[in-house]
Amino acid sequence: MRTVASLLFPFGLGLSLALAGCGGGETPEPKDPSSEGSSGKPQPQADAGPDAALLGEITQLNQLLAAIDKSDPGRPKALDRLGELLAELSKNNRDRALAADPNVSSLPPPAEPKAAEGEVSDAPAKAGPVLPARNAAAVKRLKPDAQKLIQKADMYAAEAIKAHKKLIADHPDYKDMDKVLFRLGGLYVAYGQVSAARPVYFELIEKHPKSPLVPEAYWNFAEFFFNAEDYENAYKLYARIVEYTPSERTSVAGYRLALSLHKLSRLDESWKALEGAASAARIHGPAGTVDEIYRDAPKLAATRKPLSAKDAAAFFVRLAESNEDVIKQELNRLAQILEDEGRPLEATEVLHVMIDRYKAEKCAIQARAIEIATRSGNNAIRADEVNRSLRLGCKP
């Protein structure tokens, strides 16, 4: 049996998401920046805007944490809640920044801190680095309101990470540690810090293997690599997810697995993964995934060159579990794609397979084959299709 370390293999982690990090160095103890005015006295929560309730609760938690010591049984839960609230504040402000300026989504990522020579890649989660700085010039290109909001989002994210790391370091046996690790890993991944997220997810998988969040940890990592177009690493992680108890998540992971394998030109494996994903999604959902699979299947089939129309039809039969309406739809789409790609001979061969399956519609389908041949400008193909029409007893 492979070890967890081999599952979260030493990736080439020089990748990042569009989201970036925030200021480096240690952040101050998390506090509500809106809770004190120039006089140092608490201000009314109404002054804090849409996050008033969150900021008020953060203030109360900070006051509580300042008044108790590490041995207090309520401290772990307070730190957990503090980290959760700060993460929520970060997301709220980032969403507002994105609404103020869509260019927020394309901010260049910061460079990930390089691990020191000899450093163990699967070190405990508490060894993770703080968030590095964003590209200041890129931030300045945003609209002023978006700049302020993204800076607040980054500040809260850094403070959330600090709260999570404090909880992990001070209370390693906390009952909800799987949720804490998952949330911390998600914060790192959201900011493109994969090398920091990796040991966090490793700890979650290693120490809490039965947690329902383990496949979600694989998913977060897989999605990061998929979006970064690192399909080699993505498919390995999606493959781990589909081994879990069937669910909507495993269905979607199977679909993503197929797309990743397709990008790697591993077409037979891609077709097989897509068939499995369609079967799972029909049973476990989501329904939208089945529609997406049917939409993409003809595109995946068309990438095989040369394409066997009979093999493609057999693929669609397995994919649709013999649902003739879907099979016909897929064959029609495939023929259209092949024509659009300038492959008229293969397009007409797909229609020939359709004639064999749908004999009552043979003349209408053959008329389409003649149209494709005519549009191609290839007289030889057109002559063959006209002759075929006559043999079928259809009017050319």
**Full 3-state SS string of 9-63:** CCCCCCCCCCCCCCCCCCCCCCCCCCCECCCCCECCHHHHHHHHHHHHHHHHHHH
Nearest-angstrom CA–CA distance, 356 and 354: 5
Q: State the DSSP code for 173.
A: T
C-beta of residue 330 within 8 angstroms of C-beta of residue 352:
no
| pLDDT at residue 149 in the model | 95
Cis-peptide into 209, omega within 30 deg: no
| pLDDT at residue 23 in the model | 36
Q: What is the pLDDT of residues 262-310, one digit of tens each?
A: 999 999 999 999 999 999 999 999 989 999 999 999 999 999 999 999 9
| pLDDT at residue 383 in the model | 95
36 forms bridges with which residues in the sheet?
42
| pLDDT at residue 48 in the model | 59
Nearest-angstrom CA–CA distance, 6 and 267: 25
C-beta of residue 293 within 8 angstroms of C-beta of residue 281:
yes
Least Cα distance to 163 among 76, 89, 92 occurs for 76
| pLDDT at residue 198 in the model | 87
Q: State the DSSP code for 344.
A: H
Nearest-angstrom CA–CA distance, 379 and 173: 77
The low-confidence residues of the chain, meaning pLDDT below 70, are 1-48, 109-111, 113-129
Least Cα distance to 339 among 310, 377, 313 occurs for 377
Please state the φ and ψ torsions of residue 36, each to the nearest 5 degrees: -130, 135
C-beta of residue 331 within 8 angstroms of C-beta of residue 316:
yes
Non-local CB neighbours of 317 within 8 Å, separated by 6+ positions: 327
C-beta of residue 107 within 8 angstroms of C-beta of residue 138:
yes
Nearest-angstrom CA–CA distance, 30 and 37: 17
Q: What is the pLDDT of residues 27-44, one digit of tens each?
A: 334 444 334 433 343 333
Nearest-angstrom CA–CA distance, 221 and 296: 23
C-beta of residue 154 within 8 angstroms of C-beta of residue 74:
no
| pLDDT at residue 191 in the model | 84
| pLDDT at residue 53 in the model | 93
C-beta of residue 280 within 8 angstroms of C-beta of residue 250:
yes
| Cα→Cα distances 32→56, 62, 82, Å | 7, 8, 11
Sign of CA dihedral 265, 269, 270, 271: positive
Distance of CA 112 to the CA centre of its chain: 20
| pLDDT at residue 189 in the model | 84
Cis-peptide into 306, omega within 30 deg: yes
C-beta of residue 20 within 8 angstroms of C-beta of residue 135:
yes
Radius of gyration from C-alpha coordinates of the chain? 28
42 forms bridges with which residues in the sheet?
36
The DSSP string of 194-234 is HHHHHHHHHHHHHH-TT-TTHHHHHHHHHHHHHHTT-HHHH
CA distance between the termini of the chain: 63
C-beta of residue 256 within 8 angstroms of C-beta of residue 240:
no
Please state the φ and ψ torsions of residue 42, each to the nearest 5 degrees: -55, 140
